[in-house]
Amino acid sequence: MKLQICVQTGVEAAVKREIERLGLGHAPAIRGRIELSGDWDTVARLNVFLRAGERVLVEVGKFPADTFDALYDGVRALCWEEFLTPHAHVLIDGKSFRSKLVAVKAAGGVVKKAIIDRLKERFRTNTVDERGERAVVGVSIFEDVATITLDTSGDGLHRRGYRVLTYDAPLRETTAAAIVEDSFYRRGKAFADPFCGSGTIAIEAAMYAKNVAPGKSRDFDFAHWKCVPKGVLAAVREEAKALEWSGDMGHVYASDLSPRAVEIAREHAKRAGVLGDITYSVGDMRKFSCAERYGVLVCNPPYGARMNDREDLFPLYRDLSKMFRALPAWSAYILSAYEGAQRALGRPDKRRILYNADLKCSLLAYYGEKPPLAPDGASLRD
Ligand SMILES: C[S@@+](CC[C@H](N)C(=O)[O-])C[C@H]1O[C@@H](n2cnc3c(N)ncnc32)[C@H](O)[C@@H]1O
C-alpha cells in the first residue's frame, strides 16, 4: 500500500529521522506529506511509535479530475470494498489548490456518493446505515489531480491521551516532540523546561528518554476496519511495551511561575506514566540553575497575544537569555511567536519556522559548549 504521513511545516526532517529509526527506510517529503509504502503492520507501527507526525493515511487512488463527473468516476473506480463495509461512517476532509474544482464541499458530496454507490453495488445492498466504522476520506485536489486517502489514525497523533486539562497556550504534543527530537537531548543528559505550563515539553522529553511509544494506549480508526488482520495493533503495542527503558535516564526538570500550571503538568505526567521521571517545582525561570554541567533547555515562553502584554516581554526574554548563558555547556531551544524574541535573546546559532497548530513561531537554537569526546572518538552530543 502507498502510505502518507501528514506533518506540520518545519518538522519534516524530524519525522524522516523517526521513520529511518523505525527501520522503514528513507522517505521523501512533498508538500507537508511524507510518502512511503507498507502493509498494515507498517500502519500500526507508524501510528504507535511516531512522535512528531500528525496522522497516517493510506493512498487509495490518484487520478486527473477537472470536472465533478471525472471525480465521481475516479472515486467509484477505486476498490472501497477492500477497505470498508457498507455500514462505514464515511466523513470527507477536502481541499483544493490550483485546480478547476474549487468548490470543496460540493466535491466532498460527489466523493461520498461515489463511495456509497460502489459499496452498494459490490455488497449487493440498498442500505448503507453509516452505523459502523468511522472512515475519514481525504480528497486533495492539486493542479487538477485528485489524491484520495483514508485516514488510519482518526484523532490526530498529537492526541496522546495524557493532556486532559488546559493551561495558558499549550504547545501541541507533536511540535514539542519534534523540538526534542531535533535538539541534542539524549537519555542521561539533563533536560529542563522552566516555562512548563501544562507540561508538554518535559513529558515528551521524558517519554523520548524512556522510549515510551506515544500511541501505545490510544485508539486508532484503522483498528476498527475489517480489512486489517486481527492482532496487528496488539502485537505492535506489545513490542512497544517491551522496548521501554526502565534504567537510569538522567534528570528532567520542569517548573513554572504558576502553582496551578505545575499541578496540571504533574497530573499530565502521571497520565503519561512519567511522573516519577520529572522533577517539578514552582518558581521564576530567572532562578533556574543546575549543578549538571551539560544539558538541554527547551521552552516556549509567553509570547503575548495582546499588545500590552508584549511590552512586558522584552525584559522577560532578556532575563531568559542571561539565565541560559549562565549555563555555558547547555544548549537552549526557544520557541516563540514574539517578534522581539531574537532581539532580546541575541543572535541564535540556528533559526527556523515552526507552527504551533496554526500559529507561526520561530525556533531559536543556541548551542552550548561541546562535551568532550567519548572514548570511541564520537562526540557525546551526536
Ligand atoms: C506559553 S505557556 C507554556 C505552555 C507550555 N509549553 C505547554 O505546553 O503547556 C508560558 C508559561 O510561562 C509561564 N511563565 C510566565 N512567566 C514566567 C516566569 N517568569 N518564570 C516561569 N514561568 C513563567 C506561564 O505561567 C505559562 O505557563
Q: Sort strands 359-366 and 145-151 into parallel, antiparallel or unpaired.
A: unpaired
CATH class of 2-151: alpha beta
Per-domain residue ranges of the chain = 2-151, 173-212+245-366
CA distance 196 to 252: 11
User: Ligand 1 centroid vs 49 CA: distance in angstroms?
Assistant: 28
DSSP β-bridge partners for residue 136 = 91
Strand partners, 91: 136
Q: Is the CB of 129 under 6 A from ligand 1?
A: no
Q: Ligand 1 center to residue 118 CA distance, Å?
A: 52
* Number of C-beta neighbours around residue 131 at 10 A: 8
pLDDT per residue rounded down to tens, the chain (382 residues): 999 999 999 999 999 999 999 999 888 888 789 999 999 999 999 999 999 999 999 999 999 999 999 999 999 999 999 999 999 999 999 999 999 999 999 999 999 999 999 999 999 998 888 999 999 999 999 999 999 999 999 999 999 999 999 888 899 999 999 999 999 899 999 999 999 999 999 999 999 999 999 999 999 999 999 999 999 999 999 999 999 999 888 999 999 999 999 999 999 999 999 999 999 999 999 999 999 999 999 999 999 765 456 678 999 999 999 999 999 999 999 999 999 999 999 999 999 999 887 889 999 999 998 877 766 655 444 3
Structure confidence at residue 150 (pLDDT)? 98
Helix axes 173-182, 200-210, angle to 10 degrees: 60
Q: Do the first three CATH levels of 2-151 and 173-212+245-366 match, i.e. the same topology?
A: no
Cell of 377: 572518538
Helix 40-49 / helix 232-242 crossing angle, nearest 10 deg? 40
Q: Please indicate whether residue 321, judged by its CB atom, sits closer than 6 Å to ligand 1.
A: no
| Ligand 1 site, residue 195, Cβ cutoff 6 A | yes
pLDDT at 308: 53
Quote the pLDDT of residue 382.
36
Q: Is 362 in the pocket of ligand 1 (CB under 6 A)?
A: no
CA distance 152 to 149: 9
Residue 162: alpha-carbon gap to chain centroid: 14
CA dist 313 and 358 (Å) reads: 22
CA 141, CA 364: separation in Å to the nearest integer?
35
CATH, domain range 173-212+245-366: 3.40.50.150
pLDDT computed for residue 309 by the predictor:
60
Ligand 1 pocket, 304 CB below 6 A?
no
CA distances from 94 to 30, 53, 118, 287 (A): 18, 20, 20, 49
Sheet of 89-97, strands arranged across: 29-30, 33-37, 2-6, 55-64, 145-151, 134-142, 89-97
Q: How far apart are CA 203 and CA 171, in angstroms?
A: 12
197 Cβ inside 6 Å of ligand 1: yes
